[in-house]
Structure 1
Amino acid sequence: MNASHGLILGIDGGGTKTVAWLARCDFTNESDVTNTMEIIGRGRSGSSNVRGVGFETAFDHLNQAVERAFTDAKLSQVTVESACLALAGAGRDVERKRIRTWAEQCQLASKLTVVDDALPVLYAASPDGIGIALIAGTGSLALGQNTNGDRARCGGWGSLLGDEGSGYQISLAALRAAVRADDGRGPSTQLHERLLDHHAITSASELIPILHAEPNNRIMIASLAPLVFDVAGSGDPVATQIIDQASTDLAEMAKTLADRLDMSTQPCSLAGTGSVLIHQPAFTQSVCDKLAESGIKTTYHAIPESVAGTLMIAAGSMTTH
């Protein structure tokens, strides 16, 4: 039997990491393909956000993740029957075209699907992909799909124009609060001392060379988010306000989509992923509470690995005629 028979590949590429899962399916059972799916290999590498790290680095990381998935499965790399790629920063046709060209050149798959990076989150939560996906990791984004198949997104504008509620913006707000406190322009906050201790420095001015040490500093800055949550948990009012604003911003994204897609009159699925939502349950509950206060009822699903949704999409594309 050809080694590629029944193999599908799902790839989820974000601002921090790229995850590839290799699975085998029985496509002769078209009515229940997803239940025949067996994950046989997993691979991981660095960021493949094309806007954040550039195409060449993104493609290197994609190659590494795929190679490691095949290695984990103890298989030689072959062209799979179907692959679904969901990459942050690849929402426009121009980016998707380059990604397709790369996939064709390396003979990744016989059938390739390139989707919005939030869409797999919906399919990981529900086989019909109906509901709202909310991503808050290094960056942030919301995507909704209703029963008519209408789709809309909110946020996802990147670190310069948006990413509200993300680890990056939470951390950036904390850094700004710390230097304002250092100047005397803002209220005193534990963030000042904690950020200096974290970087093993004695002066806020030493943050400047640290934060500008590498061109792509978004990931490093975003990694400070757990510190901000910790300080907020101690009752620091400045950190608490930063976290409260972040949850308000994310709730606003989800509500905007629920209203736009006419999903606000009945409970809908809210699928959350990204380090901020997955690792901060009290914060996630705050987002849900604010949605409820605004009249949007949701059933929340935590999606630790949205790559599972890319496999669902890859499998589904083989049975769609």
Structure 2
Amino acid sequence: MDHTEQLPGVLAIDAGNSKTDVALVSTAGEVLGTARGGGFQPQRVGAEAAVGALTPLVAAVAAQAGLALGGRPLAGHVSACLANADLPVEEEQLLAAITAQPWGLSSAVANDTFGLLRAGTERPLGVAVVCGAGINCVGLLPDGRTARFPALGMLTGDWGGGAGLAAESLWLAHRAEDGRGRPTGLARAIADHFDRPSTMAVAEAVHLGAIEDVRLHEIVPLLFAEAASGDSVALDLIDRQADEITRLAVIALTRLDLLDVEAPVVLGGGVLASRHPLLIDNIRTRLTAAAPLAVPRIVIAPPVLGAALLGLDHLGAAPEAQTRLRTHYEEPSTGAARPAAAFTKAL
């Protein structure tokens, strides 16, 4: 098959803090090439350098489609859902950097949470909350209206995610150990996990570089284990996270006038994808009380699917194209096309 006949289509990019997925998709929804690379951090290296680092991935998907960079654009539209595209100025800088590349006839940049949202919905309508390393929330309507938050962490009122839960757990454990806080099994669990005699020793090891900062995410499973054993401090922390996730979703639904209609609330990211009952059941209860018509679901599809679907939306592709695209990303053991709901797990 001459894949060039399938173009223009979509060059879909889902770039997260820890990994980047790229896919080249025809207007018929056929996946012509895929590639995966490392994290995307323009806040550290700058927009142009971060986008330039995507070139090997783009070249890889082009080669799979029998194309080469440097000639005609690879696709009619570049749909990029990017981590750290939190502020309008950041989106503008990243869009300019992508537009400067010979990848597509047109380009669009959105925060990567929009990719999560679109992957878990039948059409561009609903709200998504991601709770992974950090936390963020966006909402989208078919007419293009959005609801979103700055997502700059403590600077903009954000709390939670794996990094936040780990830091808070260590803070509470240390205060329990030295008497300033309530007793909690987190103190001993964290010390034992890092093979240190105390949480103070863990803190010293992190401060001096003997324990790398990136390992602190290992505290999150300890938090859930202590909560499951009935530890009140751990339970309170998970309750706070459930409250924060629900608040974000309800505010986004309200801003888009979706609170009184049936609308999906897509949940994703590592903390939520673990589907721990203590967190998920808490969120379900809170959403039922605050937004009874919301339809919560945990997305299990790769976010690059959402980026590609947003691109097909932009091109006005037929519904059959979206079905074909979803079929490509379904579990290998199945063969029939499935709707968006099949790429999620109901709460």
TM range (shorter): 0.7 to 0.9
| Map of 2:16 onto structure 1 | 14
- Unaligned regions of 5+ residues in structure 1, if any? 27-35
| Map of 1:38 onto structure 2 | 30
Q: Report the CA distance shift for 1:108/1:227 in structure 2 as closer, same or farther (over 3 A).
A: farther
Pairing 1:1-321 to 2, within 5 Å after superposition: 3=4, 5-23=7-25, 25-26=26-27, 36-51=28-43, 55=47, 58-59=50-51, 62-63=54-55, 65-67=57-59, 69-70=61-62, 73=64, 75=66, 77-78=68-69, 79-81=73-75, 82-146=77-141, 149-154=144-149, 156-158=151-153, 160-212=155-207, 220-282=215-277, 283-304=279-300, 305-319=302-316
More deviation, 95-104/134-143:
95-104
More deviation, 235-244/298-307:
298-307
1:50-107 Cα deviation digits (max 9, x unpaired): 3367547744653454455456x37555342122111122132322233233324442
Q: Report the CA distance shift for 1:47/1:111 in structure 2 as closer, same or farther (over 3 A).
A: same
Paired with 1:53 and 1:227, the residues of 2 have a C-alpha distance of: 33
Q: Report the CA distance shift for 1:319/1:261 in structure 2 as closer, same or farther (over 3 A).
A: closer
Paired with 2:47 and 2:144, the residues of 1 have a C-alpha distance of: 31
More deviation, 61-70/148-157:
61-70
Matched-pair contact (CA < 8 Å) for 1:130–1:269: yes
Q: Secondary structure at the match of 2:35?
A: strand
Q: What displacement does 1:248 show?
A: 0.6
| Map of 1:30 onto structure 2 | none
Paired with 2:112 and 2:204, the residues of 1 have a C-alpha distance of: 33
More deviation, 75-84/252-261:
75-84
Paired with 2:214 and 2:20, the residues of 1 have a C-alpha distance of: 13
What amino acid maps onto 1:175 in structure 2? L
What amino acid maps onto 1:45 in structure 2? G
Q: Secondary structure at the match of 1:107?
A: coil
What amino acid maps onto 1:292 in structure 2? T
Q: Report the CA distance shift for 1:228/1:70 in structure 2 as closer, same or farther (over 3 A).
A: farther
Show structure 1 runs of 4+ deviating over 6 A: none
Paired with 2:110 and 2:252, the residues of 1 have a C-alpha distance of: 18
Paired with 1:146 and 1:62, the residues of 2 have a C-alpha distance of: 29
Q: Report the CA distance shift for 1:266/1:105 in structure 2 as closer, same or farther (over 3 A).
A: closer
Matched-pair contact (CA < 8 Å) for 2:21–2:35: yes
Paired with 1:212 and 1:64, the residues of 2 have a C-alpha distance of: 36
| TM, length-normalised to structure 2 | 0.77
Matched-pair contact (CA < 8 Å) for 1:10–1:20: yes
Paired with 2:221 and 2:45, the residues of 1 have a C-alpha distance of: 23
Q: What displacement does 1:137 show?
A: 0.7
Q: Report the CA distance shift for 1:254/1:69 in structure 2 as closer, same or farther (over 3 A).
A: same
More deviation, 231-240/55-64:
55-64
More deviation, 156-165/190-199:
156-165
Matched-pair contact (CA < 8 Å) for 1:255–1:296: no
More deviation, 44-53/229-238:
44-53
Q: What displacement does 1:308 show?
A: 0.8
Q: Secondary structure at the match of 1:85?
A: strand
Q: Report the CA distance shift for 1:232/1:209 in structure 2 as closer, same or farther (over 3 A).
A: same
Q: Report the CA distance shift for 1:233/1:65 in structure 2 as closer, same or farther (over 3 A).
A: farther
Paired with 2:159 and 2:57, the residues of 1 have a C-alpha distance of: 28
Q: RMSD of the alignment, in Å?
A: 2.9
